[in-house]
A and B are shown apart, each in its own frame.
Chain A
């Protein structure tokens, strides 16, 4: 037994496992972590031994964590866990060389460790970016050590093996890019096109997904497969709506209509309360939060769609099904605008109908007047067929139903004159 352990120590002397055992993490905790990662990556359980082997032998690649227009929420999400071992393992999987929120050095010393990593580990380290990058006015809205965010990103991410944008701000611009923002905030992909990039969006992203992405890289030596938005498919492949435990109530037509109503107490669908699960791709329902304790829909609150590129603008108002119609104010719903449009058309139509009726009546009157003054009724009609009768009908009357025969008229009496009298005023 002791022999076996000594052998294992020898094999794993330089790997992750060595670092973990020095920290006093038990083999059992380590295997549990590997199993969770297999599950998070949506891999079959037979991959667990492979992940265990890969992590045991991993040479702790370097990682630098940049923070720009952020709230450090993704740092929190990555590092805080009810299980202390989880964060320990994630921190020990890599050589975490630079991370403003948690690092001990500051000032020049901190910048030196960033610089050292970029030069010594060029093309081999992982760059993690948290927070959006402001581009307005040359990027002056966010500078660190006198350098703009975009400048830092270009250097650090440009020399990295790959960049992981954590959180919706870093992935798509997020809250700083919402309407009303003045900083010209964009995500990493838009700020520096062409990077080898993984977007781990959500506000914040789930720490388990970051760990799984890193584990995937360590195990398979490549980044996980992504969707069109560079998000890993294991985390963003499916809609929340399609994995929602309340989905049966959606299909049944059972909806919460008010917080705390009977449907809410019975756990019905939150769609009418503005749940954005149908518009959001994320593994929230499976992986959940706080080590799988629960997640928003599980506690009776709708999804706010934080993992989507359109968060915040298109996902708000949070408690309405549809976004507000641009130009109509946040309190106006799409339904109100739509009904307003339809009602306006109906009102205009009704007004036009009244106008047409008046026109009809006036025309009939003037025709009757013309018939009475000019000729007896019967001959009036036939006379109207001749060119002379047509001329005799008063121009101002519009000669509405004078049945003039175009062929019989002289060629130089244009048709327009008969019709357009009201707009042109008088006959030439």
Chain B
């Protein structure tokens, strides 16, 4: 099967140039199907295009985030509830100190990763941009409703998308708000021993405003919320991959999704005006 590699944001152009009434995908599909060797369940065997969807910075920040979240959660949980104890002379042990050091270094990496990803939402390709996350267009709003109906078993299929579905996009906005809160509360707690300097100037006022104990509570609860998100995130990635057979799960490694011509056409279809009804 022929695969066509295109950068995500070029897909739109190609389809705008072509006359939609005689799409090349259609004729190719007909030719292929006429070989009559397809099983009755045709899922996953029809003509597919491999699209380059997730560009490199998206994938790097994704896996950096994964790594950081794992390290930060384990070390952070230890800091909140030290479950390993050392024995012997305190001067020859430094377990909590080491764990905190790892937590802090990882926190800086995570912060950079999150900040870069936010920047990339304005500089990246179509599927990395902010418009994938905030359902600002009529089409995205419509598909948001469809996705909710899909998840609540009121609809058979998820809406066809090339990048994120709008519900996932909105969820990631919520996730990045949690990331932001986690970073701010984390740096505020990190600023506690300092009397001056950029940490005290930048985050000391939060300690005064909120209080250390509340910051620690919020910081801990958000860790569990991020873990809860991760559980759902992995599940829905697998679920949608099973629905679409698009290689969604592996796309975060390869950057490429395998989508049917029809799927792509549907994803680019503009919603009709409500006046027609």
Contacts and interface: CB of A to CB of B under 8 A. Distances in A.
Contacts, number: 194
B231 A346 contact: yes
Contacts of B211: 279, 308-310, 314
Interface residues of B, number: 71
A31 interface: no
A228 B85 contact: no
Contacts of A415: 266, 269
21 contacts: A228-B204, A251-B96, A252-B95, A252-B97, A254-B86, A254-B93, A257-B85, A278-B192, A308-B212, A310-B213, A338-B220, A338-B221, A342-B224, A355-B153, A360-B242, A368-B40, A377-B40, A399-B156, A403-B46, A421-B156, A422-B154
B221 A334 contact: yes
A136 interface: no
Interface in B206-245: 208, 211-214, 216-217, 220-221, 223-225, 227-229, 231-232, 235, 239, 242
B33 interface: yes
B81 A321 contact: yes
Nearest to A339: B224
A251 B221 contact: no
A378 interface: yes
The 7 closest A-B pairs by CB, nearest first: A338-B224, A253-B95, A377-B40, A252-B93, A279-B212, A398-B156, A345-B228
A353 B235 contact: yes
B157 to A, nearest CB: 6
A103 to B, nearest CB: 36
A323 B235 CA distance: 32
A385 B217 CA distance: 57
Contact of B86 (A228, A253, A360): A253
Interface stretch (B19-27, B63-71, B116-124): B19-27
Interface residues of A, number: 79
Given A341-B228, A423-B149, A321 B80 contact: yes
B1 interface: no
B192 A334 contact: no
Contacts of A403: 42, 46, 260, 262
Interface of A, secondary structure class, is helix
A360 B242 CA distance: 10
A422 B80 CA distance: 48
A371 B84 CA distance: 61
A237 interface: yes
B155 interface: yes
Interface of B: 20-21, 23, 26, 29-30, 33-34, 36, 38-43, 46, 80-82, 84-87, 90-91, 93-97, 99, 146, 149, 151, 153-157, 159, 192-193, 195, 204-205, 208, 211-214, 216-217, 220-221, 223-225, 227-229, 231-232, 235, 239, 242, 260, 262, 265-266, 269, 272
Contacts of A310: 211-214
A252 B155 contact: no
Nearest to B209: A228
A279 B216 contact: yes
Interface string A315-348: 1000001110100000000110111011011100
B90 A381 contact: no
B197 to A, nearest CB: 14
Contacts of B155: 419-420, 422-423
Given A250-B96, A323-B213, A385-B33, 20 more contacts: A228-B204, A252-B97, A253-B96, A254-B93, A257-B85, A279-B211, A314-B211, A322-B80, A322-B216, A322-B217, A322-B220, A337-B224, A338-B221, A338-B224, A341-B221, A344-B228, A378-B38, A405-B262, A406-B266, A407-B265
B51 to A, nearest CB: 18
